[in-house]
Amino acid sequence: MKTVPKKIVRAATAVAVLLGLAHTPLQAQAPAASATDTKAPMKLIVGFPPGGPLDTLARAVAEQLRTTMGETVLVENRPGASTRISIDLAKRAPADGKTVLLASSAPFIIFPMTYKRLDYDVERDFVPVAHLVDVPTVVSTGASSPYQNIGQYVAWVRAHPDRGGVGLTSLGGLLHFSILAMSKTIGVPLNPVSYKGGAPLATDLVGGHVPIGTDALASQLELHRAGRVRILGVSGTSRNRALPDVPTLKEAGIDGFDHANAWYGAYVPAGTPPAVVQRLERALIAAVSQPHVQAQLVRVGLEPTGLDGATAAKVLRAERTFWRPIVAASGFKSEE
């Protein structure tokens, strides 16, 4: 048998190696990830622990989105720093529609007026997608208190001006400034007393340790139904369908709570493509329009709205205009 010259062997080996290298990327490398991973789950970011009204809304909406959008939808609870942790997380997320912030209106209305420094800009960093529910608020007292309605409370606190403490769950929010406006209306100094959540506030109301408190209806409704607290009035300009016999504070002659209702909306990071925003907007509005979802939300004291993103942005601007002079006159600044 003929011996193949060494030069030819070396040349053939080099060609084989080159051919092998040329084909390796096609066989061994995974395809590059696309800018938007369509298989990645959608996340609804909530700045409160599980179990509260916003968490209830998020889980009801997530269940609907799984069906209508055909995607995996997760609820991610990121409480802390008055919901600013969740806001920062959402702000830094890719603008691909896979991360949706569900938040109260206060961080987008009041916080820019009261915090000395925020890590987000309400106009620059987020796009409002939908106004989902109104969050009615109430003024309550313990069931054993001597006043049966807001008028009797006003008479009582005028006779006891040194007992004008009013419990609430955070300073610097809508209810804080509503209390200051109420104080001015009735001519009695009312002192906001901050609690670390609705549960400790409710405990002190039931125990008679604070004369009145103000919080979301969702945090007080079951206690009222059980006869442990007495709701004296509701915020806003019309009676709440869950409490048709309870007057609005405006009806009772108390100014300051007309604009005290918060609301929960959906937001995505700025730069999210308009077509993606519109798709989310339609899906979210459809979710809170489902009769069984509405029944679930009303049962916990929320009022479904289902308004588009343009309307949500308009409401935010109008509320900022309303509250700005009131907040400025108070001189309040958050120390957080």
Q: Alpha helix (H) ranges present in the chain?
A: 6-28, 53-68, 84-91, 106-109, 111-114, 150-159, 174-186, 198-206, 217-225, 274-289, 291-299, 309-330
Domain 42-135+262-330: homologous superfamily in CATH: Bordetella uptake gene, domain 1 (3.40.190.150)
pLDDT higher than threshold 50 for residue 21: no
Q: Say what the pLDDT of residue 29 is.
A: 36
Domain 137-234: homologous superfamily in CATH: Periplasmic binding protein-like II (3.40.190.10)
Same fold, 42-135+262-330 and 137-234: yes
> What single DSSP character describes residue 163?
G
Instruction: State the pTM of this model.
Output: 0.80
pLDDT higher than threshold 80 for residue 4: no
pLDDT higher than threshold 50 for residue 33: no
Q: What confidence tens digit (pLDDT) does each residue in 191-235 have?
A: 999 887 788 999 999 999 999 999 999 889 999 999 999 999 999
pLDDT higher than threshold 90 for residue 37: no
> Cα–Cα distance between 166 and 179 in angstroms, integer?
8
What mean pLDDT is predicted for residues 273-278?
98
The residue extents of the domains of the chain are 42-135+262-330, 137-234
Q: What confidence tens digit (pLDDT) does each residue in 120-135 have?
A: 999 999 999 999 999 9
Which letter, b or e, does each residue of 295-314 get, where b requires 16 or more Cβ atoms within 10 Å of its Cβ? ebbeebbbbbbbbbbeebbe
